[in-house]
Amino acid sequence: MNKLKTFPQINTLINDESLKSHPFYIKAFFCKKVVSKFKENNTQNVSSKENLLLEIQKEIKAFYQKDLQSVINASGVVIHTNLGRSVIDKELYRACEEVLCNYSNIEFNLQSGKRGSRYALVLEKLKMLFECEEALVVNNNAAAVFLVLNSLCFDKEIISSRGELVEIGGSFRIPEVIKAAGVKLTEVGTSNKTHLKDYEKAINENTALILKTHKSNFALMGFHSEVHIKDLHCLAKDRGLLSYYDLGSGWCENLNKKLIKNEPKIKKLVQECDILSFSGDKLFGSVQAGIILGKKELIEKLGQNQLLRMLRVDKLTLAFLNESLKAYLEKDYEKITSLKLLNDDLSFIEEKALKTQKELKFQSELKRSKSLVGGGSMPDKSLDTCVLAFKGAALKLQDKFRSQNIIGRIENDEFVLDFRTIREEEIQKLIFKINQMENL
Ligand SMILES: *Cc1c(COP(=O)(O)O)cnc(C)c1O
């Protein structure tokens, strides 16, 4: 007998009483998926209608569980790329709502009644904050690097230190981005040491630009040296070339004193090169965006590149970025959540941990520990923090807490919750979720 004939019609499954409460698109998708899965794997005898329906129900349930949902970041990593990097402040979010849930003047000049520039408001604020000639915003910093190199160096050569040809987040590799932008890379120096004379020797008539890339997600120990952007800029200027600093992260204002040593401050660096770029959602603490600052004539060139249209940002991004920039300009740093979490002092963190510990039905031990900045920022630095450590098999506990959307970490074979990244407004939710568990 033909095996396929034993399967119930898809429509019979979709219309089955047991699936009545589910929306058509969702159940139709999983009915088809389950039937083809059974056709591929199973013999006729297990493909009864009941078995199929059971599997369809399971898939639909899993589908709802997979939905985008909030988690409690108890990992201690403030800028956690897998958990959405920087958290958007609620007040800042509400300020955007008014603009986003109505028509807006996004590309309309209210004074002249004519078409306006989509970027104007945000760019003005960027220029104020960073005291630079010109600014531009694109989708993310990867797009910024691509746009800068493609606009300023297409078909030409750029020079980069071998020590800075980094990979970030698994899919962004500097040498490959350079190539994809239509630019030839000349590597100089070695992985641990590059000197100014290495750059000097590599310059030829095709060279257009000297690139410096922040190492972001790793730190070198022992003998190493790199050339400061200021010196690269002098050399570039001397030889009629451009200098570009891919900062990746980079900080703006009011960052924890313990973290700023040797860390690039954007406002200072923008004076020390022709053009630079960084991510909107790393240390800057806003939304995903690539922020480009620098000389007016260069940024105008980027503006003329057709690519800009493809890399342009949505009104959602612009609205949030606009609010973050306002917060910076008004020195309202509490609204920059990543900064706030990085700046919180130990006594405040301890208070949150103690308050939680008291209300938990399970035993935990309060301990001192260290948390990381994360997000490809400051791999060599950590901050003092307080954790609650739980007794029991660490891996098992980790899974158990994760099933409640609480993401902790394992440290010295113990499962811990780091209170640097648990915000005050999450404490009650955290206590509730933990106390809901039957046992640990
Ligand atoms: C993070 C980073 C990027 C990529 O930025 P995204 O905003 O994630 O696209 C590029 N370069 C450096 C040096 C970085 O640290």
Give the per-residue SS3 of the chain: CCHHHHCCCHHHHHCCHHHCCCCHHHHHHHHHHHHHHHHHHCCHHHCCHHHHHHHHHHHHHHHHHCCCCCCEECCCCCEEHHHCECCCCHHHHHHHHHHHCCCCCCCECCCCCCECCCCHHHHHHHHHHHCCCEEEEECCHHHHHHHHHHHHHCCCEEEEEHHHCCEECCCEEHHHHHHHCCCEEEEECCCCECCHHHHHHHCCCCEEEEEEECCCCCCCCCCCECCCHHHHHHHHHHCCCEEEEEEECCECCCCCCCCCCCCCEHHHHCCCCCEEEEECCCCCCCCCCEEEEECHHHHHHHHHCCHHHHHCCCHHHHHHHHHHHHHHHCCCHHHCHHHHHHHCCHHHHHHHHHHHHHHCCCCCEEEEEEEEEECCEEEEEEEEEEEEEECCCHHHHHHHHHCCCEECEEECCEEEEECCCCCHHHHHHHHHHHHHCCCC
**Quick one: CA torsion of 146, 150, 155, 161, rounded to 10 degrees?**
-40
Tell the residue nearest (CA) to atom 15 of ligand 1. 248
Tell me which residue of 310, 400, 250, 319 sits closest to 102, measured CA to CA: 319
Q: Is the CB of 141 under 6 A from ligand 1?
A: yes
pLDDT for the residue numbered 117? 87
Q: How many whole angstroms separate alpha carbon 273 and alpha carbon 178?
A: 19
Tell the residue nearest (CA) to atom 5 of ligand 1. 141
Per-residue b/e over 115-139, b at no fewer than 16 CB within 10 Å? ebebbebbbebbeebbebbbbbbbb
What does DSSP say about strands 207-213 and 242-248: parallel, antiparallel, or unpaired? parallel
pLDDT for the residue numbered 378? 77
User: Is-contact 131 266, C-beta < 8 A?
Assistant: no
Tell the residue nearest (CA) to atom 3 of ligand 1. 248
Q: How many whole angstroms separate alpha carbon 254 and alpha carbon 377?
A: 16
Neighbours of 144 (CB within 10 A): 27
Tell the residue nearest (CA) to atom 6 of ligand 1. 141
pLDDT for the residue numbered 372? 84
Measure 192 CA to ligand 1 centroid, in angstroms: 21
Tell the residue nearest (CA) to atom 11 of ligand 1. 248
Give the residues of the chain that fall short of pLDDT 70. 1-5, 42-46, 170
Q: Which atom of ligand 1 is nearest to the CA of 215?
A: 13
To test the pocket of ligand 1, the residue of 172, 217, 226 to mutate (highest count of ligand atoms within 8 Å of its CB) is 172
pLDDT for the residue numbered 44? 56
Q: Which residues contact 8 (CB under 8 A, 6 or more apart)?
A: 49, 52
Residue 418's Cα: distance from chain center in Å? Answer: 20
To test the pocket of ligand 1, the residue of 81, 137, 140, 141 to mutate (highest count of ligand atoms within 8 Å of its CB) is 141
The structure's pTM equals: 0.92
